[in-house]
Amino acid sequence: MIENGGQTAGDVVALGRMVGRAGREWWGMSDPSAARVSGGFLMPEQPKDGSGSAAPREDLLTYVCQTMRENEGVLYRSSKETYSEVVGFINDAVDSIGAALKRGATPESYARYAVLYCLIHVLMPVGGAIYINALGGNLPACFMELRLALESLVKCYLADSHYPGRDFFQDRLHSLEKDKKSISALMKQLDADLGLEEGSIGLWRALSEDWVHTKGIMDGIVGHLVERSDAPAWGLVIPRSYRQEDLSSLDELRKRLAQFRCLLKHVMQEYYKRVSFS
């Protein structure tokens, strides 16, 4: 259920204590300085005598899983179109790889074409990461990962288009980088090739200005504080349950994912007109 009202200081303190207790007590240690970072949480070394307790660790893991399950329900009930776009992103990556295989892509093709690299090693894992972060309430990470997917798709498409004589996708990408064109220039070139009016550059600007650059994140938090007298859930502790006021940000994620998926469709249609794996 979406929480109404502001996030109380008690909520943050309670969760902070849980994380702190996990860092100090999971393995029976009392010195936080001995902790090391693992998986985003403090994970101290296990006592040599094996006397550590797993209970606090399990409490934190239970909290993470419960929060993600709760947010999945929120997405499905209150932001179903966003949920559909998140899952659709993953399916688009799978379908694009399947389409390449049907067109005769082979292991040799994989080594040659940068777009195949992008589909397999960028879009597939990014799709899963966006799903996980959406369930965890980590909206900034969703937008950052989407920008990575966008930049990779643009560069890989142009690398294959500009350097078909290179036999290895990494050489193609390195050759494109040596041109020293800005990412915005590359996106304008892609949009021109596809006959799109700011298809990629418009999406890239929206993602960068609002969700990737330091100023955008800061302005989002300050704006939320001014309008609602509290910080957004994603600006405090992750994972965190969605609240009513998060629905507008979830809807923005829906729009950006839909834009990317539409662009991916256009890119792959044009790509297959120019590239033959056989």
| Domain-located, residue 192 | yes
In a domain, 243, yes or no: yes
Residue 124 lies in a domain: yes
Report the share of the chain in percent with pLDDT over 70.
Answer: 79
Pull the structure tokens for residue 87.
Answer: 């899952």
Specify the number of domains making up the chain.
Answer: 1
Residue 215 included in any domain = yes
Quick count: other Cβ atoms within 10 Å of Cβ 139? 23
> Measured between alpha carbons, how far is 184 from 191 in angstroms, rounded to an integer?
11
Residue range(s) defining the domain that contains residue 128: 52-274
- pLDDT for 13 equals 52
Q: What is the reported pLDDT for 108?
A: 87
Structure tokens at 168: 């290895």
Answer whether residue 17 shows pLDDT above 80: no
First to last CA, the chain: 52
User: Which element (helix H / strand E) includes 196?
Assistant: none
224 inside domain? yes
What pLDDT score does 231 carry? Answer: 72
Q: How far apart are CA 14 and CA 10, in angstroms?
A: 6
Euclidean distance between CA atoms 191 and 185, whole angstroms: 10
- Cβ-contact 229, 9 below 8 angstroms: no
What number of other Cβ atoms are within 10 A of residue 200's Cβ?
Answer: 27
- Whether 46 shows a pLDDT value over 70: the answer reads no
Reply yes or no on whether the pLDDT at 207 is more than 70. yes
H helix runs in 179-213, sequence order: 183-194, 201-207
What's the angle, vertex CA 234, arms to CA 86 and CA 257, rounded to 5?
A: 20
| Residue 168 placed within a domain | yes
Q: What is the mean pLDDT of residues 249-277?
A: 92
Chain centroid to Cα 251, Å, comes to: 16
Residue 11 lies in a domain: no
pLDDT in tens, 155-203: 999 999 999 999 999 999 999 999 889 999 999 999 998 888 878 999 9
Q: Which two tokens stand for residue 129?
A: 């990461």
Which pLDDT value is given to residue 44?
Answer: 46
What six digits make up the tokens of 238? 């992750």
Structural domain contains residue 241: yes
